[in-house]
Structure 1
Amino acid sequence: MKPRTARVFAAVAAAGLLTAAATACNRDGSDGGGKPSIGIDLPRADSDFWNAYADYIKADVKAGGLNTQPVSNSQNDVTKLISNVQVMEQTGAEAVVMAPQDTGAITSTLDRLAKKKIPVVSVDTRPDKGEVYMVVRADNKAYGTKSCEYLGKQLGGKGKVAELQGDLTSINGRERSEAFAACMKKRFPRIRVFELPTNWDGAVASSKLQTLLSQHRDLNGVYMQAGGVFLQPTLSLLRQKALLKPAGAEGHITVISNDGIPQEFAAIRKGEIDATISQPADLYSKYALHYAQAAAEGKTFEPGPTDHHSEIVKIPGGLEDQLPAPLVTKENVDDQELWGNSVDKKK
């Protein structure tokens, strides 16, 4: 496999060979109607969460009558993301919406877009460096802290917990992991945490968890940093090992997840997992498109409270709208205000 730098440059070079004629045949975006052209890249299609986000994007673009280029999907590959964005540049994008999964490898692309005065809205992930018009995400440190606090209380401050970490090259994976570790060390020092990096890969998570369970049969907690990719592999493994006991039963392994997808809600209702933190896929789509449209029209924003119950904060290279992400348990899992209870209605 080529080093990341070589692969990135190769992708840029390949994208540079594309012509407008070659890309025009694939244009299936909405009718312009005089509105600015917006390029959108989806980050992956192997996650229930991101597939829900894709459904919201499709519905919101249609409802808003936006002028969008053909939506691309970089499939968790930064080289594809770079290529896709370069096509957007060549075909007249006036703003770009992306969700880079490798937040350290997108800097040169952001720098190039900034020089061309093409504003960028980054969804869910905050690039490590580079200029962005707005980042639309929730507070990922709060995800780690809330998950730690919930597990710690449920386990009575002692036990063994497996942490299925995301990609640690991603700011989301890092922030959730760092916050979870800091909270556990400070508040629940009698809980032993086994950190399992997975690169947001469900198969890797399952394999590592299986190895851990063979060594520590008394594991009594799991923190899944992304239910969209970890939920089904984890439940299948626990079921296979006869460890999927309902909440409240002897031997139940307490599980908290992050995402808020319908499948997690169903698992909470069945007692298979205990909680999740609802990452707002609906609001990610709504406000990513809102800010992209505003950016292309030359509008500006300032730090402070918003009219949609969030807070815009200043970050290096731009602004970030930190959207609310509530804890969901059996007590509130049927709340119809949660996007996971209404996502099917958007299709």
Structure 2
Amino acid sequence: MNLARTRSTAAAATAVLAALALAAACNRESTDPAASGGDKPTVGIDLPRSDSDFWNSYAQYIEKGVKSDGINALPISNSQNDVTKLVANVQVFENTGAKAVVMAPQDTGALASTLDTLASKKIPVISVDTRPDKGDVYMVVRADNRAYGTKACEYLGEQRGGKGKVAELQGALDSINGRDRSEAFAECMKEKFPKIKVFELPTDWKGDVASAKLQSLLAQHPDLNGIYMQAGGVFLQPTLALLEQKGLLQPAGQKGHITIVSNDGIPQEFEAIRKGRIDATVSQPADLYAKYALYYAQAAAEGKTFRAGKTDHDSTIIKLPNGLEDQLPAPLVTKDNVDEKTLWGNNVGG
């Protein structure tokens, strides 16, 4: 017997077994949720888009919250305003062990079958900012979007003295947010300011579409004296650029100023308010959207339940036909309160 050869073969076999054991350990470390996030249940998170300053801020808050709260999150996906990508991303979450899913569907009418599938697998869904038209949700984390339209209407109407012409840059009308803001704005204008002529411009939440339609409207109605932007995150920059190009961007208080009210509460809107370029915005709480999306996702994954009523964070949970909705506060911001430190737009990156 060749003892040297036998010892060599045994040593090689031992090395192979050790390598296999190490590989198995590495595989367990990368795939076992308990290894990366303690014993917390796994959460899947999909971001809705990256072409909006508002949603980019939300994404930053989500990333910070995942780290600071120790959320056991799967790799965060971004569906880029594409419902097909959202469905595919959710399927990945299903297949990789998600016990709850956070999403912000931009097309609220196209997810019924996906939500039904998740419900059948007992995977609860937290929908941020938008409310799916059909399909069960554990919790919608959202502000009262009808109040957005009403607040914008009341401010614009009062600033214009109940007269004039107003362009409304609407979001996508297949979105519950676009519909809520548009319907409330129209109802308020008809009831309180019937002498104001409103031009409704659907944009599908696209800044270039908004700019093109506004340019055409200004050519027909150069005496336009008010604008309601339903999403400052996508409409602010192209709108201000167009008005400046046409010599129509007069500061607030000066003759020829076009009164502009927005929705979102991003830092760029606050800076525009300070400079008198726009007059007001309704602050969507990007920080609270992220905070309570993660809070409810963790609670859902742990099997906790909630019911309608007042909360301990200055909001109200309401009952929906397909779940619950936590309606978070969204204040009107003007030059009088734009510097308040409690507004998330003054704390981005802080």
Same fold (TM over 0.5): yes
Q: In 1, distance between residues paired with 2:93 and 2:298?
A: 15
Instruction: Tell me how large the CA RMSD over aligned residues is.
Output: 1.6
Q: 1:28 to 1:303 in 2, by over 3 A?
A: closer
Matches within 5 A, 1:97-246: 97-246=102-251
Q: Which amino acid aligns with 2:111?
A: I
Q: Which amino acid aligns with 1:170?
A: S
Q: In 2, distance between residues paired with 1:344 and 1:257?
A: 22
Matches within 5 A, 1:1-347: 31-345=36-350
Residue-pair matches, total: 322
Greater Rg by CA = 2
CA contact (8 A) 1:41 1:98 kept: yes
Q: In 1, distance between residues paired with 2:257 and 2:103?
A: 39
Q: In 1, distance between residues paired with 2:37 and 2:97?
A: 12
Give the structure 2 partner of residue 19 of structure 1. Answer: none
Q: In 1, distance between residues paired with 2:51 and 2:248?
A: 26
Q: 1:243 to 1:129 in 2, by over 3 A?
A: same
Runs of 4+ in 1 over 6 A off after TM superposition: 24-30
Q: 1:25 to 1:199 in 2, by over 3 A?
A: farther
CA contact (8 A) 2:33 2:72 kept: no
Give the structure 2 partner of residue 9 of structure 1. Answer: none
Q: Share of identical aligned residues, percent? A: 75
Q: Secondary structure of 2:89's partner? A: helix
Q: 1:152 to 1:335 in 2, by over 3 A?
A: same
Q: Which amino acid aligns with 2:125?
A: V
CA contact (8 A) 1:27 1:69 kept: no
The unaligned stretches of length 5 or more in structure 2 are 1-28
Q: Which amino acid aligns with 1:223?
A: Y
Q: In 1, distance between residues paired with 2:324 and 2:342?
A: 27
Q: In 2, distance between residues paired with 1:264 and 1:171?
A: 23
Task: Give CA-to-partner distance per residue, 1:218-239, whole Å, 9 cap, x none.
Answer: 0000000000000000000000
Q: In 1, distance between residues paired with 2:188 and 2:337?
A: 24
TM-score normalized by the length of structure 2: 0.90
TM-score normalized by the length of structure 1: 0.91
For residue 265 of structure 1, report the CA deviation from its aligned partner.
Answer: 0.1
Q: Secondary structure of 1:50's partner? A: helix
Task: Give CA-to-partner distance per residue, 1:112-150, whole Å, 9 cap, x none.
Answer: 000000000000000001100000000000000000000
Task: Give CA-to-partner distance per residue, 1:91-125, whole Å, 9 cap, x none.
Answer: 00000000000000011100000000000000000
Task: Give CA-to-partner distance per residue, 1:309-333, whole Å, 9 cap, x none.
Answer: 0000000110000000000000000
CA contact (8 A) 2:54 2:264 kept: yes
CA contact (8 A) 1:274 1:329 kept: yes
Q: In 2, distance between residues paired with 1:142 and 1:26?
A: 44
Q: In 2, distance between residues paired with 1:104 and 1:255?
A: 30
Q: Which amino acid aligns with 1:113?
A: L
Q: In 2, distance between residues paired with 1:305 and 1:48?
A: 30
Q: Which amino acid aligns with 1:160?
A: K
Q: Secondary structure of 1:31's partner? A: helix
CA contact (8 A) 1:30 1:69 kept: no
